[in-house]
Structure 1
Amino acid sequence: MTFEAIRSELQPQRVHHYRLHHRGEVLNYKSFLYALAGEPSFRKFFTELLKSADFAGFRWETPPISTSLIDREFEFVLLRSDQFADRETEPEPFAKHFRSDDGSGVVVFSNLGNDATLIAPTPLTCEEAYGHLAAFVRLALPEQVDAMWQQVGETMLRLVSKQPRWLSTAGGGVAWLHVRVDSSPKYFGHTPYREVR
């Protein structure tokens, strides 16, 4: 399958915006999620795209999704987050969840407030690989990166409902990569994605 990305700078050296294309057509949100869940070639493309980002550390944010929005064009932003690049990882807050790993190297669990589902890699290689998304796609084992993206797609497809959900990585609180499927955009930095439109 042939995929390509169109990148634009919303704020030079701060916010990069992406749209993904497949055979000349813009991917919609549903196609993006099904590709994550079921197409290894797409997951590899997506990982390589993120690896090539100019930022040493970044947050990944997407627009809200619901059953009524799932056919909209998929887009995302990378928000430069230099503070992630030099901080120490912090596995302890998620350690009890790591024990539920089924061998894939990825776990899914609810946050403390029970208003978000978190998808996190378990420690399989050097801890530096797990502090944030940029480090993970660049340093973690390729099969673990692939498993995480597959789990993100499967989890989002399962959770899409009439109520909007926000898909992102934040990382300001716990210094261990976790993808968030949130019922609100409470940690979002990209203002246009905070609103359901």
Structure 2
Amino acid sequence: MIDGALQRKAISGEFQAEIDVTDGGGVQTYRFSWTADPLTFRDVISLWRWNEHLIDFMCELIRTSGLQGYVWECPPVTQESLNRQFEFTLISTGKPYHNKADPSSFSEHFSDNGCEDDVAVFYNLGGDATLVVPEPVGTLTDYRDLHRFLKNGSRGHKLALFQTLSETIKAELSDKPLWLSVAGSGEPWLHFRLDTRPKYYQYAPYRRP
């Protein structure tokens, strides 16, 4: 538990969450357990591939966090640190960064096969980060940020996104730190970042390798 934090707990089936709340609710750190055993990064990356219940639980906790604008950040992970307890932190940004969704900056990477749950994976323009991006379902799709995706996206699209994250993290893991986050201040479309440095990180404890 973080010093000075208020702690909330949530249960869904065999999964439990402990949420440390600081800064008047503006910073929320989530940790999980399964049948009372803490979940590690190794566990969660694997479970995202096949355990729909855990994905549902995490998505619902984030969606009902009470925050409207926020960033989502994980501590850095390497092959050697996979057995540390998994956690992520939501940091309030106050208002959402964007007033409307616009996926056009990513459109060249989207498929054209008519599937409603497609997820694109590609490098950013600088080539120093891998992006995992849910593709629009139609012209009115509003995935401007994580909050809107969790509110508007289908269950199938959420499952597909986290399954793709699992596969991408496994492919990117090495002996060098990998930072997984959603920043969102740039393009007005949800994109998870797998970075080699904490480029846009706001939560100071996670900036250290």
Task: Please give the range of the TM-score, normalised by the shorter of the 2 chains.
Answer: over 0.9
- Counterpart of 1:60 in structure 2 is 72
Distance 1:62 1:97 in 2: 25
- Counterpart of 2:49 in structure 1 is 37
What TM-score results when the alignment is normalised by the length of structure 2? 0.88
Say if 1:84 and 1:131, in contact at 8 Å, map to a contact too: no
SS at 2:187 equivalent = coil
The alignment-based identity, stated in percent, is 31
Cα offset, 1:72, TM superposition: 0.4
For structure 2, list consecutive stretches of 5 or more residues without a partner in the other structure: 1-12
Q: Which has the higher contact order (CA 8 A, sep 6+)?
A: 1
Superposition RMSD on alpha carbons, in Å? Answer: 1.6
Say if 1:43 and 1:150, in contact at 8 Å, map to a contact too: no
Which of the residues 118, 122, 133 maps onto 1:105? 118
2:80 is equivalent to residue 51 of structure 1: no
Cα offset, 1:189, TM superposition: 0.5
Q: Deviations over 1:126-165 (max 9, x none)?
A: 332x011111111111111110011111111121110110
SS at 1:48 equivalent = helix
Distance 1:101 1:181 in 2: 26
Say if 1:110 and 1:117, in contact at 8 Å, map to a contact too: yes
For structure 1, list consecutive stretches of 5 or more residues without a partner in the other structure: none
2:164 is equivalent to residue 151 of structure 1: yes
- Counterpart of 2:207 in structure 1 is 194
- Equivalenced residue count is 195
Structure with larger Rg: 2
- Counterpart of 2:28 in structure 1 is 16
Q: For the structure 1 residues 14 and 52, does the alpha-carbon distance in structure 2 shift closer, same or farther, using more than 3 Å as the test?
A: same
2:141 is equivalent to residue 127 of structure 1: yes
Counterpart of 2:169, as a letter, is: M
Cα offset, 1:81, TM superposition: 2.3
Distance 2:120 2:146 in 1: 16
Show structure 1 runs of 4+ deviating over 6 A. none
What TM-score results when the alignment is normalised by the length of structure 1? 0.93
Q: Deviations over 1:61-119 (max 9, x none)?
A: 00000011111011110011233265111211001111367834211000001111000
Q: Deviations over 1:163-190 (max 9, x none)?
A: 1100000111101000011111010010
